[in-house]
Amino acid sequence: MADLAITNLTAQVAALTALVAQVAQLNQTTKSVNLQPFDGEAKEVVAFISAVEANYNANSWNDDRVPDDRLTANVTHTPEQVYAKSYAQVNKIAGFLRKSAAIWWQNLPRKPLTWQDTEPITAQVANHHRPGYPAIPAQEGLRELLIAKFRSSAHIAEAKK
């Protein structure tokens, strides 16, 4: 009887420790994001990307997925939840898109999960000991999507000289 109580208590302490770690990570202090709005002008895209990357470095952002031990066991998570922190960062950046860039973002059928491109993730079935999520295919990040959409062919030709 005492062994069962100790085992249950140990499991509860482990779950509480994981929860506290999650809350601590989510409440990390970040510096403010300093970006000029991006209107979708080809001549502005390189400067905008450079500014975003400077903010990524200043805020210690990354595009890492949420580790399995920080996701809830026995729950199937969406790709947005698997990449929760980077997805929030990408959406924060999207708040600086204006004019044609903002319209492009609104009409984008599948929002990027990260700033950089992602690697594919194999599906995992949820059970009592681990979280679940669907297969997440490799995806272009916001950086590459901005370059592909807004960088002019004239600018690319000039850079190749």
For residue 30, what pLDDT is reported? 53
* pLDDT at residue 12 in the model: 73
Cβ-Cβ contacts under 8 Å for 137 (sequence gap 6 or more): 120
Residue 8 identity: N
Q: Which of 2, 3, 56, 63 is nearest to 30 (CA)?
A: 56
Same domain, yes or no, for 20 and 50? no
pLDDT above 90 coverage of the chain, percent: 70
pLDDT of 65 reads 96
Distance CA 156, CA 154 (A): 5
**Whole-angstrom Cα distance, residue 130 to residue 75?**
8
- What's the half-sphere exposure (Cβ side, CA atoms, 13 Å) at 68? 15
The residue to which tokens 């990390």 are assigned: 28
Residues 116 and 148 reside in one and the same domain: yes
Residues 18 and 93 in one domain: no
Q: Are residues 63 and 139 in the same domain?
A: yes
Residues 12 and 51 in one domain: no
Which tops the pLDDT comparison, 18 or 88? Answer: 88
The β-bridge partners of 38 are 97
Residues 92 and 156 occupy one common structural domain: yes
Residues 95 and 54 in one domain: yes
Res 139 pLDDT > 80: yes
Question: In the prediction, which pLDDT does 34 show?
Answer: 83
Burial degree of 36 (CB within 10 A; 0-12, 13-18, 19+): exposed
The β-bridge partners of 97 are 38
Q: For residue 4, name the pLDDT band (cuts at 50, 70, 90).
A: confident
Structural Rg of the chain based on CA atoms: 20
Q: Are residues 9 and 60 in the same domain?
A: no
Note the pLDDT of residue 126: 96
The pLDDT assigned to 49 comes to 96
- Examine the pLDDT at 157 and tell me if it is beyond 50: no
Confidence of residue 32 (pLDDT cuts 50, 70, 90): confident
SS (H, E, C) 26-76: HCCCCCCCCCCCECCCHHHHHHHHHHHHHHHHHCCCCCCCCCHHHCCCCCE
Residues 45 and 9 in one domain: no
pLDDT, tens digit, 9 for 90 and up, residues 39-61: 999 999 999 999 999 999 998 89
Q: Are 39 and 88 within one domain?
A: yes
Number of domains forming the structure of the chain: 2
Domain extent, residue 144, equals 31-160
Check whether residue 111 and residue 147 sit in a common domain: yes
Average pLDDT of 108-126?
97
pLDDT grade, residue 5 (50/70/90)? confident
| Residue pair 151/139 in contact by the 8 Å Cβ criterion | no
109 plus 55 within the same structural domain: yes
Which residues lie across from 132 on neighbouring strands? Answer: 76
